Structure 1
Amino acid sequence: MSAVLASGLATASESAQFFAAQLQFRTDAADLAADLIAAQAQIVVIDTRSTAAYQAGHIPGAVSVPHRTMTVESTANWDRQLVYVCYCDGIGCNGSTWGAYKLAKLGFQVKELIGGLRYWQQDGYAVATGDAAGVLMANTIDCEC
């Protein structure tokens, strides 16, 4: 018997629902970069890591909000009409998951960046350093998917 099929197989309809749900919850570096370059005003990128990690290198345009500091009080003036994209170091870190979870519990629309800063850099996108958010100016990377 096939090792791939041993656990069963979802129907096409079940698969479509599952993958549609994943796309509602996550985004990738190429899609985020496209929105940052296009200056999509409804997207806010949140770096959920420590302030020191943010200063060492972050996605241009990202705001430093360590997930441990996310509270009703710290987000009281945030716009609930915006979509917040959370990221951390990468798949070995759950800071983006914690950040997205906390923001969702507080009533914000959120997505999580697949692979975090590691996949962002692996895909060849620039990083900014220091306290300034910076701006992603151009996309010289062609997504091969």
Structure 2
Amino acid sequence: MTTAVTAVPPAASDRALRHFESALEFETDCWDVHDAMSSGKADFVLLDVRSHVLYEKGHVPGAVSLPHAKIIEGTLRDYPPQTVFVVYCAGPHCNGAHRGAIRLARLGRPVKLMIGGVTGWLDEGFTLETGKT
């Protein structure tokens, strides 16, 4: 007897390993971002890709406001080409972070997505800042 869970068998372990390891090339989580930001050892620039209005209402401490539609070469000129960007938006119900990541990748910039966005950040018990930076 099978369930909806096992009707399609899981991938072989070697394939599962490749899949899950490769996912970490594209994303990070709120806990790891918080740890890096709060330790002062962040080796990336954290971009809040929502609107400036939403950013001002509450954003991850240390994040830079850069709405995804504004990600162009000109807005990145102050960052060396090898700068790693981590993008986030409102949360799993929002695709703004994916849009921002696409724009950065098209510009040849290294990028990861912070899964969970603001929703995930708050779910972890972390606080937001308000206002402009």
Q: Amino acid of the residue matched to residue 37 of structure 2?
A: L
CA contact (8 A) 1:35 1:43 kept: no
Tell me the CA shift for residue 41 of structure 1: 4.2
Q: Contact 1:54–1:64 at 8 Å: present in 2 too? A: yes
SS in 2 for 1:30: helix
Indicate yes or no: 2:31 matched with 1:30: yes
- Which amino acid in 2 is paired with 1:26? E
Q: For structure 1, which runs of at least 5 residues remain unmatched after alignment?
A: 133-145
Q: Give the length in aligned residue pairs.
A: 132
Match of 1:16 in 2: 17
- Please name the residue that 1:129 is paired with: 130
Q: Give the distance between the partners of 1:107 and 1:65, measured in 2 at CA.
A: 17
Amino acid at match of 1:82: T
Instruction: Kindly indicate whether the alpha-carbon contact (under 8 Å) linking 1:42 and 1:81 is maintained by their aligned counterparts in 2.
Output: no
- Cα distance in structure 1, aligned partners of 2:107 and 2:40: 25
Per the alignment, residue 89 of structure 2 pairs with 88
The 2-side partners of 1:44 and 1:72 are apart by 15
Per mean C-alpha deviation after superposition, the further-off stretch among 85-94 and 73-82 is 73-82
Task: Letter of the 1:72 partner, please give it.
Answer: E
Q: How does 1:70-85 map to 2 (within 5 A)?
A: 70-85=71-86
Q: Distance in 2 between matches of 1:122 and 1:27?
A: 15
Taking only aligned residues, the RMSD between alpha carbons, in angstroms, comes to: 1.1
1:117 Cα deviation after fit: 0.5
Secondary structure in 2 matching 1:73: helix
Segments of 5+ residues of structure 2 without an aligned counterpart are none
Query: Which residue identity does 1:57 align to in structure 2?
Result: G
Task: Report the AA paired with residue 76 of structure 2.
Answer: T
**Counting helix residues as a fraction of each chain, which structure ranks higher?**
2
Aligned to 1:117: 118
* Aligned-partner Cα distance in 2 for 1:115–1:42: 20
Secondary structure class of the residue paired with 2:73: coil
Per-residue displacement from partner, 1:17-63 (whole Å, max 9, x unpaired)?
Answer: 10001111111111110100121242110000000000000000000
Secondary structure at 1:108 match in 2: coil
- The sequence identity of aligned pairs, in percent, is 38
User: What SS does the corresponding residue of 1:101 show, helix, strand or coil?
Assistant: helix
